[in-house]
Amino acid sequence: MNTEVIRIDPNKLDSAGIKIAAEKIKNGRLVAFPTETVYGLGADAFNSRAIIKIFKAKKRPFDDPLIVHIAEKNQLDELVENFSGLAKKLTDIFWPGPLTLVLNKTKKLSDKVSAGLDTVAVRMPANEVALSLLKNSETPIAAPSANSFGRPSATCAQHVLDDLGGRIDLIIDAGRTTLGVESTIVDLTQHPPLVLRPGGVSIEDLKREIKEIQIYAQDKILSPGMYAQHYSPQAKVMLVGGSGLAQVEKVKRLVSSFNPQKFSVGVLAKKENINEYEGCKVKAIGTEKHLEACAANLFYILREFDREGIDIIIAENLKREGLGLAIENRLIKATGGNNVF
Ligand code: TXA
Ligand code: MG
């Protein structure tokens, strides 16, 4: 299959390009498109055959449910049941935006989307290209992140092409995504509501709106899609916690434990620390004072290390607050759960 790429300037929406992409969605084809978080691999949520193609293109297990994207709240009517007052409040506050809600699904929506569960995950992305594609397609779009299963999510069109080129019909290239980590997922069918994945909306912001809330436990598999190993580059990833000099010393010890003749080592460091390390390739994730920029760089840099043939990535953990929690979650999963120091 030839994968077509259409370039769209997000500041100057080209309706011809969007219309071509929307036609493909209507015809049951796979279209990768930008959201504010990461690129999604989309198909008509009501076309089961198209949904199956998503799983095959990504080599994703069929028990890992997809997120359904919408452009207008009235599209919820055909997707979810028991839309509670809390759901309304959260969508009023956080949509469009990086908050995915798990709600009871209607019968109309195929089991393929929800991997056999009687719930569905929905969100309204805060990205004009995505919203315009959704409106022109005249259907909700089911879309997981547009990467091969288990790999870091794609934050630019080239990374989608690297993983899925030849396996999908079209990629809308609108440059790098702004947030860089995926949406926060909250399961509202649980009491109290349960955060399944930290992401673009911070736990602190959620706690202000939800009186009682349970937070995921990193070591438990809570939903079929939450396998331990995820978001992984080809390189082995090691994550070093702590802060200040103690953290730097730990990273240095790890770097020097590898024979440079045998392994090329990369360090993913805070901007503040990039001059601390020798005998390895150092890349700055950003300054810890600006976690938004760090989140935007995370997957991008993991893939850059891969392209440069790095064998081992040693990552400094960041502050465990705000977007730092989403970054930590992705890095722990990239290690496969081992190699956290
Ligand atoms: O920001 C994002 O959320 C991006 C963009 C494209 O919207 N999407 C994304 O999708 O990250 P994906 O498929 O990579 O991750 C979705 C995860 C699943 O792996 C699963 O853990 C959870 O959402 N999920 C989906 N439906 C669910 C359900 N009914 N119950 C519990 N968890 C669900
Ligand atoms: Mg994903």
For ligand 1, atom 10, the nearest C-alpha belongs to 144
Q: Is any ligand 1 atom within 6 A of the Cβ of residue 80?
A: no
Please state, as a whole number, how many other Cβ atoms lie within 10 Å of the Cβ of residue 122: 26
278 alpha carbon – ligand 2 mean position (Å): 34
143 alpha carbon – ligand 2 mean position (Å): 9
Q: What is the pLDDT of residue 191?
A: 93
Q: What is the pLDDT of residue 131?
A: 98
pLDDT at 228 over 70: no
**Which of residues 260 and 45 earns the better pLDDT score?**
45
153 alpha carbon – ligand 2 mean position (Å): 6
Q: What is the pLDDT of residue 33?
A: 98
Q: What is the pLDDT of residue 216?
A: 78
Read off the pLDDT of residues 163-203 as tens digits, 9 standing for 90 and up. Answer: 999 999 999 999 999 999 999 999 999 999 999 999 999 99
- The whole-angstrom distance between residue 121's C-alpha and the CA centroid of its chain comes to 14
Alpha-carbon distance values, 131 to 19, 27, 34, 93, 283 (Å) = 12, 19, 10, 18, 34
Read off the pLDDT of residues 233-291 as tens digits, 9 standing for 90 and up. Answer: 889 999 999 999 999 999 999 999 999 999 999 999 999 999 999 999 999 999 999 99
In ligand 1, the atom with minimum distance to the C-alpha of 60 is: 13
Q: What is the pLDDT of residue 288?
A: 95
Q: Is any ligand 1 atom within 6 A of the Cβ of residue 114?
A: yes
Ligand at minimal distance from the CA of 41 is 1
Q: What is the pLDDT of residue 7?
A: 96
Cis peptide preceding 96, ω within 30 of 0 = yes
